[in-house]
Amino acid sequence: MKERVLVIGATSAIAAEVAAQHAARGDQLFLVGRNPDKLDAIVRRCGDAVIGSRTADLALLADNAALIDEIFTKLGTIDRVLIAHGELGDQLASERSFADASATLVANFTSVVSLLIPIANQLEAARGGRIGVITSVAGDRGRPRNYTYGAAKGALHIYLQGLRTRLYAAGVAVTTLKLGPVETPMTKDHTKHALFGKAPLVAAGVIAAMDARTAEAYVPSFWRLIMPIVKHTPELLFQRLPFLSGR
The DSSP code for 107 is I
One-letter amino acid of 135: T
Tens of pLDDT, residues 190-237: 565 667 779 999 999 999 999 999 999 999 999 999 999 999 999 999
How far apart are the C-alpha atoms of 136 and 149, rounded to whole Å?
Answer: 9
Give all strands (DSSP E) within the chain, no chain letters: 4-8, 28-33, 50-55, 80-83, 129-136, 172-179, 182-183, 197-198, 216-219
pLDDT the model gives residue 244? 79
Angle at 108 between CA 35 and CA 120, to 5 degrees: 90
pTM of the model: 0.93
Domain spans of the chain, in order of start = 4-245
pLDDT the model gives residue 1? 78
Q: Given 3.10.180.10, 3.20.20.140, 3.40.50.720, 3.30.70.260, which CATH number is that of 4-245?
A: 3.40.50.720
One-letter amino acid of 55: T
Residues of the chain where predicted confidence (pLDDT) is lower than 50:
none
pLDDT the model gives residue 182? 83
pLDDT the model gives residue 196? 79
pLDDT the model gives residue 190? 59
The string of DSSP letters for 44-67 reads: HHHGGGEEEEEE--TT-GGGHHHH
**Cis peptide bond upstream of 242, omega within 30:** no
pLDDT the model gives residue 188? 58
pLDDT the model gives residue 193? 61
